[in-house]
Amino acid sequence: MIALNAQRSKQLLQEAQLLQPQLTAWRRDFHQHPELAFEEQRTSEKVSCFLKSLNLEISGPFAETGMVALLKGKKPGKTIGLRADMDALPIQEQNTFCFKSENDGKSHACGHDAHTAMLMGAAQLLAKRQPEHGNIAFLFQPAEEVSKGAKAMIDAGALNGIDEMAGLHINAGIDLGKIAFSGKIGCGSTDFFSLTIIGKGGHAAHPDLTVDSVAVTGQVITALQQLASRQIDPADPVVLTIATIHGGTANNAIAPLVKMTGTVRTLNPELRKTMPERMTSIVKGITSAFGADYDLDYTFSSPSIINDDRMTLLAQQTVDALLGKGHRLQSKPSLGGEDFSFYTEQLPSVFFVLGAGSDAIPRHPNHHPQFTVDERALPYGSAVLAALAMNALEN
């Protein structure tokens, strides 16, 4: 067990709950004005203006719209970073509440509006608690949804001087006030591909004079699904999803080519490395057998989150001290991607999930056009992040 300041934890939670109106107002403002990856200008300006009011040292912009605010301690020591992502998704919102998105085709369907508001709340809680030793850095990051923001922040030097990292993700599928930890691996790697099946077009009445790219594509799709079910250890999770498919322009013509895009998710880094070769082998064999050709472009995007054992233990005990026994859950790793993983490659880090589901809201999954959260979860997020930062500096 790690020695924690239980009295301070209770005070932080009480103060965070008093911030409920402000946290809700921030979240609703961001929700009403969603901005896509690397376009978070309004969001960034709102955040920066507030952080300046706390007299924090602000550096940036990093990665176009990102920033880092630093709370310096009384004496030198290590620095822990807390991260929130700010970007929205290109999804048309279908909610009807008064603060629904005003930006057509854009919505905060993954809770990044809540993440930003909660980290602002944590900064407010911590600004009046100058650490005795060490510093706390607040990272507000763009472009998580396209798996490019964290890496861009790192490349721009946003992690300079930071020794550890922590972050969370809100989820309406988990009960309000519960916090879930998945263990060593936090989420799956997120990779993408585009695949073109190249045939020979012609008249639909004379298929023998063509190479039907649509028919070949059907065989390719079926065979690719055999990767997970017949060629990979069932205990080693992998998801291969073909998400878009386009081919043909007329109902009496055989299409010369079909274009597909999709994603591959794995937990095992070694398995991840083999996926392009495995896919190529299957696609090459099928297209060759039917006299077609192919073009496969495979892009490695974000890796799996790897949680540090010590940071995970500290976060779990922080949750127990803050919320009491029974609020901490053990969950399975998700194959959903999260570019916080780039931070875990660089520094000892921990990432966990905050429950925001209740009977007061419809429990839609992340990325659903009607996604929302029970806003009573916001103080929990601010308090946990603040308490974890203080505990990390003292342990």
The mean pLDDT value of the chain amounts to 96
CA dihedral 19, 22, 23, 24 (to 10 degrees): 120
What is the per-residue pLDDT across 49-105, written as a single tens digit (0 to 9) for each? Answer: 999 999 999 999 999 999 999 999 999 999 999 999 999 999 999 999 999 999 999
Q: What tokens were used for 44?
A: 């960034």
Same-fold call for 6-185+304-394 versus 189-299: no
Residues 130-155: what's their mean pLDDT?
97
Q: 299 Cβ partners below 8 Å, 6+ apart?
A: 191, 192, 193
**Using alpha carbons only, what angle is made at residue 183 by residues 381 and 377, rounded to the nearest 5 degrees?**
15
The structural architecture, per CATH, of the domain 189-299 is 2-Layer Sandwich (3.30)
Task: Convert the pLDDT of each residue in 304-328 to its tens digit.
Answer: 999 999 999 999 999 999 999 899 9
Task: Report the amino acid identity of residue 70.
Answer: L
pLDDT digits (tens, 9 = 90+) for 342-358: 999 999 999 999 999 99
Mark out the alpha helices in the chain (DSSP H runs): 6-18, 20-32, 41-53, 112-127, 149-155, 213-226, 269-289, 309-323, 341-346, 378-394
Domain boundaries, the chain: 6-185+304-394, 189-299
Alpha helices, H only, 54-155 = 112-127, 149-155
Q: What does the pLDDT look like over 174-183, one tens digit per residue? A: 999 999 999 8
Residues above pLDDT 90, as percent of the chain: 95
Q: What pLDDT score does 7 carry?
A: 86
Q: How many CB atoms lie within 10 A of CB 74?
A: 10
What does the angle CA 288 – CA 301 – CA 217 come to, to the nearest 5 degrees?
25
Q: pLDDT tens digits, residue range 8-21?
A: 889 999 999 999 99
CATH superfamily for 6-185+304-394 is Zn peptidases (3.40.630.10)
